[in-house]
Amino acid sequence: MTYKVLISDPLSEDGIQPLRAAEGIEVDVQTDLSADELAEKIGSYDALLVRSQTKVTRDIISQAKNLKIIGRAGVGVDNIDLSAATEYGVIVVNAPDGNTNSAAEHTVAMLMSLARNIPQAFLSLKNKKWDRKTHVGVELKGKTLGVIGMGRIGVEVAMRAKGQRMKVIGYDPFLTKDRAEKLGIDYGTVEDVIKVADFITVHTPLLKETKHMINKAAFDKMKDGVQIINCARGGIIDEDALYDAIKDGKVAGAALDVFEEEPATDHCLLDLPEVIATPHLGASTVEAQENVAIDVSHDVVRYLTEGVARNP
Ligand code: NAD
Ligand code: MLT
């Protein structure tokens, strides 16, 4: 019996070696399929491996007659219709910790770039301007970082911020006083965090409960001149409300790695000089891409050959 695995997003070639090496598994890499092409082809595959670009919709799952498992080489499974997968008996596995370090480092890079206007200054210098007045920044030392979502990445970001001598306050429904004390941070409600923070970074999944959790009402409660970072998921922050809050001068700057609609090349937020952005690069390191591809490859091999699943 040969199982067929389709990889529909670019994954690390080293990371997918466990799949290529497995007996009885045939790997097919096709990373430029349209939704229609994927729906047409998926019927002959036993497993599908994706990153975040491929939208694994109900329509695709319903046409995947042989599909047994979907592997998400990364954390967020919001690009996969989980209820359709459950309904059609398809297992979904992700790689929950292979990119934690890279995403945390990217968040800190964004935090520091935001505080010191590094992307704006670089752009200006590339345009042959030696401008030392416009790009005056602020120090992080002594400022308060609010972390909303103290899971794997949120905790790593909090620890790194302490290294910058920042005060940290975190909110997470599962964060206890004891755990916060052990981490050496303050903890409070989401309201407490947004009221006291000079910089706010979000690290929750995108869920019904977290969609637009940072909205106009939240911005209104923040300190004047607050700066916002989103390296988690587009949609946690209400982009229209963020745009207005920047225009009104409430928010001094924002660093965005993720957007509600991706790719986001023509977004009004990108026209604002206060906004710096990257195209969803949080997990884009050699190490993270290898880690997550290895993790899901092993999961898919185990499931297809032994019927054993590790997560979600
Ligand atoms: P995680 O599951 O370890 O942590 C998420 C945390 O959010 C959990 O502790 C959970 O309790 C908390 N949470 C859930 N609902 C909440 C709410 N309403 N308010 C506050 N906290 C809430 O996940 P993680 O690995 O830390 O990933 C965090 C986010 O980062 C996810 O959205 C993931 O998809 C995203 N991510 C993005 C990139 C990127 O490339 N930019 C890379 C990796 C992960
Ligand atoms: C994730 O949720 O892991 C990120 O979106 C990273 C990725 O692009 O895979």
What atom of ligand 2 comes closest to residue 233's alpha carbon? 5
CA distance 279 to 266: 12
Q: Is 94 in the pocket of ligand 2 (CB under 6 A)?
A: no
The residues assigned a catalytic role are: 233, 262, 280
Digit-coded pLDDT (tens) for 25-57: 999 999 999 999 999 999 999 999 999 999 999
What atom of ligand 1 comes closest to residue 97's alpha carbon? 25
pLDDT of residue 311: 55
Q: Is 230 in the pocket of ligand 2 (CB under 6 A)?
A: no
What atom of ligand 1 comes closest to residue 78's alpha carbon? 34
**Beta strand pairing call for 144-148 and 199-202:** parallel
Ligand 1 centroid, distance to 78 Cα (angstroms): 11
Digit-coded pLDDT (tens) for 171-184: 999 999 999 999 99
Q: Is 51 in the pocket of ligand 2 (CB under 6 A)?
A: yes
- Buried (b) or exposed (e) across 100-114, using 16+ Cβ within 10 A? bbbbbbbbbbbbebb
Q: Is 72 in the pocket of ligand 2 (CB under 6 A)?
A: no
How confident is the chain (312 residues) per 10-residue block, as mean pLDDT? 97 97 98 97 98 97 98 97 98 97 99 98 98 98 99 98 98 98 98 98 97 98 99 98 99 98 97 98 98 98 92 52
Ligand 1 centroid, distance to 27 Cα (angstroms): 30
Digit-coded pLDDT (tens) for 49-89: 999 999 999 999 999 999 999 999 999 999 999 999 999 99
Note the pTM of the prediction, 2 decimals.
0.97
When the pLDDT of each residue in the chain is averaged and rounded to a whole number, the result is: 97
Ligand 1 centroid, distance to 153 Cα (angstroms): 7
Reported ipTM: 0.99
Ligand 2 centroid, distance to 72 Cα (angstroms): 9
Cβ contact 29:7 at 8 Å:
yes
Q: Is 147 in the pocket of ligand 1 (CB under 6 A)?
A: no
What atom of ligand 2 comes closest to residue 74's alpha carbon? 3
Mutate to test the pocket of ligand 2, among 9, 52, 54 (most ligand atoms within 8 A of CB): 52
pLDDT of residue 293: 98
The residue nearest atom 1 of ligand 1, judged by CA position, is 151
Ligand 2 centroid, distance to 41 Cα (angstroms): 24
